[in-house]
Homo-oligomer: A and B are copies of this chain.
Amino acid sequence: MNAKANPGKRRGRPAKEGRSDDILDAALDEFSTKGFDAARVDDVAKRAGVSKGTIYLYFDSKERLFEGVVRRWILPTVAEAEDMLAHHEGSVEDLIRAQVHGIYRELAGSRLRQILRLMIAEGPRFPHLVDFYFETVIQRGLKTLRRTIELGVARGEFRATALPDYPLTVLGPAVTAAVWKILFDSHHKLDLEALFETHFDILINGLKKA
């Protein structure tokens, strides 16, 4: 499914702590496919290979389970992302290229786009989660972008524009691509790499000094 291995998954439960992860995995699948309300705790249980009661041993309610799913997937991703960016070297153009590429990969290309859609769909009912998501993912991601752009300006590579105040501009196409993949990919398949290249070409040309 994803690279994040969960060692103790099979019937014979070789590792107890895998149980909770199995449930979260199954829950992500169900919530992604059906949405919060339409997802059935029973189906999550069946998919996770446990009984319905067991889910309530690990999570107080369906709402807590949902929150668990979001947190479970966001935290490691953000950590990874920050890690990657911290160790980057080279030109600012290379840096921002790597950052935007990372956004496409993580946001639109991985399982995380399901989380994004769930946030859009169920956000109004989970304000705590929106807070968490905003602070952990959005704000941090945008801050990184802003700083990189400011660095480019400081180094004389980029024009001075209002972009540092609106880094959403840079994020937007990737977010939209994530949504597209979920809703419209059967109508018109989207090539994420090509989209990224096109987007970045316009962006960098619009940013660089003449």
Contacts and interface: CB of A to CB of B under 8 A. Distances in A.
Interface residues of A, number: 57
A1 interface: yes
Contact of A37 (B38, B159, B175, B203): B38
Interface string A199-210: 101111111001
Given A37-B37, A168-B177, A172-B199, 6 more contacts: A33-B124, A134-B187, A162-B198, A163-B202, A172-B176, A201-B206
Interface of A: 1, 33-38, 62-63, 117, 119-125, 130-131, 134, 138, 159, 161-163, 165-166, 168-169, 171-177, 179-180, 182-184, 187-188, 190, 194-195, 197-199, 201-207, 210
Contacts of A125: 34-35, 38
A202 to B, nearest CB: 4
Contacts of A130: 183-184, 187
Contacts of A119: 183
Interface of A is mostly: helix
Contacts of A206: 201-207
Contacts of A162: 194, 197-198, 201
A133 B69 CA distance: 29
Contacts of A138: 184
A176 B168 contact: yes
A198 B207 CA distance: 11
Contact of A131 (B123, B159, B177, B187): B187
A122 B120 contact: no
A150 B184 CA distance: 24
A63 B206 CA distance: 45
A158 to B, nearest CB: 10
Contacts of A35: 35-37, 121-122, 124-125
B134 A179 contact: no
A201 B131 contact: no
